[in-house]
Amino acid sequence: MKIIIPKMVFPQDSSGLYSSSFSIMGVHDDTHKANLKAYGGMIMDCVNEAFMFKYVDKNLWVSPDDEISQLQMVVESEKLLNNEKLVLVLDLDKTLLHTTKRSKYLKTPEELLQPKFKDSLFPVQPWAMMTKLRPFVHTFLKEASTMFELHICTMGKRDYASKMVEFLDPEKVYFKSRVITREDLVDSEEKSLDLVPRHKRTAIILDDNQHVWKHDQSNLILVKKYLYFNPKSATSIASFSALNTDEDETTGVLATILEKLKLIHRLFFNPKSKGGLVHRDVRSILAHLRVLQGCKLIFKGIFPPSLKPENSCLWLMAEELGAICSMDDVLTAFTHVVTWAATAEVSQQAELDKSILVHPRWLHACYDACKRYPEKDFQVELKN
């Protein structure tokens, strides 16, 4: 089967999607439209037996066999992995920003010059709307782009999404053409990683709505909704504008998620993590991160002085299970003491601290089963 490589066409080139590109193939527009059908997030050309990747870095028409599209995905995915990069798919509204049509929030040019609105509040023309960027978003995108290839996936229309991307990425360095919009979705009520031509095992999704990712839940990190403006309908949630405040730059949602993404990236590419790179899967890491979420571990008598604890397999295992690890029981409040054995004094102190003494085998068991086992099944031996 032949491969036809036409002029590059990306999702934002909506005017050319059903005209110039199809004319290149010598098919009348109306005839061609009648012979199109969706296939896995792409458009199938039934007349010429070719697919068009609507959303890739290099546009290709390929055979319906799908082997070539799979090969393209493998090549691009492996290229990213060789550069120690994963894939991050970002929602727009209420995840990275908040937009309103309510006239009461429209600002004058003078009001937009106020320091608290600098580089974060924008009028959206020609729709008479206002958009507020989530605090820390520019730093978030800058740092995340060093670890991830960034994509946008929104249910907003292309012209609106393009405007939002201008606010988020004015220098056009983060997203390039990697913006999926409502026009690209096979189902207007559902998003899918099938539209992202990369290995699913390398892709993480950030979205405030889990229900739109029906088939990709295991790749999703659910984000707390960002509500800067008051909604039209009555709600029990007070908006930031109503409270005359905003999320904190350093402790807000995006700052917290960035630290989680750094951990996932480190675990994925750490040579000491279980299994080789070819077997790593962000879905497995995300599942493990939920097992001991909220647990704060102190290690006692586990590591020899010559070993950096944070480089040990046990420490990495605990972090991958979502626990916070420390060697300092003075400055850190902790929930568990991980140790081989304990004296009566250590046991009494743990009881006073309302912490649990547990054997290292507990971490191994939790990791292998990807679930939290009762600590009582892994009790520590008491020394005389």
Rounded to an integer, the average pLDDT of 260-280 is 86
Q: DSSP string covering 152-205, please? A: EE-SS-HHHHHHHHHHH-TTS-S-TT-EE-GGG-SSTT---GGGS-S-GGGEEE
Number of residues assigned to the chain: 384
Q: Is pLDDT of 26 > 70?
A: no
Rounded to an integer, the average pLDDT of 341-358 is 91
Residue 109, preceding bond cis, omega within 30 degrees? no
Higher-pLDDT residue of 332, 73: 73
Q: Which helix H or strand E contains 371, and what residues bound it? A: none
Confidence class of residue 111 from pLDDT cuts 50, 70 and 90?
low
Q: Is pLDDT of 84 > 70?
A: yes
- Mean pLDDT across the chain: 82
Confidence class of residue 262 from pLDDT cuts 50, 70 and 90?
very high
> Which residues have C-beta within 8 Å of that of residue 98, sequence separation ≥ 6?
131, 132, 134, 226, 227, 228, 229
User: Would you state the pLDDT for residue 113?
Assistant: 60
Identity at 309, one-letter amino acid code: P
| C-beta neighbour count of 239 within 10 angstroms | 18
User: Would you state the pLDDT for residue 235?
Assistant: 61
Q: How far apart are CA 255 and CA 149, in angstroms?
A: 18
Q: Give the tens place of pLDDT for each residue, 202-256.
A: 999 999 999 999 999 999 999 999 999 987 765 667 788 888 889 999 999 999 9
Rounded to an integer, the average pLDDT of 351-380 is 95
Residue 136 and residue 165 in contact, taking contact as beta carbons nearer than 8 Å: no
From residue 243, give the alpha-carbon distance in Å to each of 182, 230, 246, 252, 273: 33, 10, 8, 16, 45
Residue 97 and residue 167 in contact, taking contact as beta carbons nearer than 8 Å: yes
User: Would you state the pLDDT for residue 271?
Assistant: 82
Burial of 294 (0-12, 13-18, 19+ CB in 10 A): exposed
Q: Is pLDDT of 48 > 50?
A: no
Confidence class of residue 13 from pLDDT cuts 50, 70 and 90?
very low
List the one residue out of 295, 383, 318, 313 whose CA is nearest residue 345.
383
- Take residue 12 and report the two structure tokens written for it: 């934002």
**Which of the residue ranges 56-65, 117-126, 149-158 would you say has the lowest mean pLDDT?**
56-65
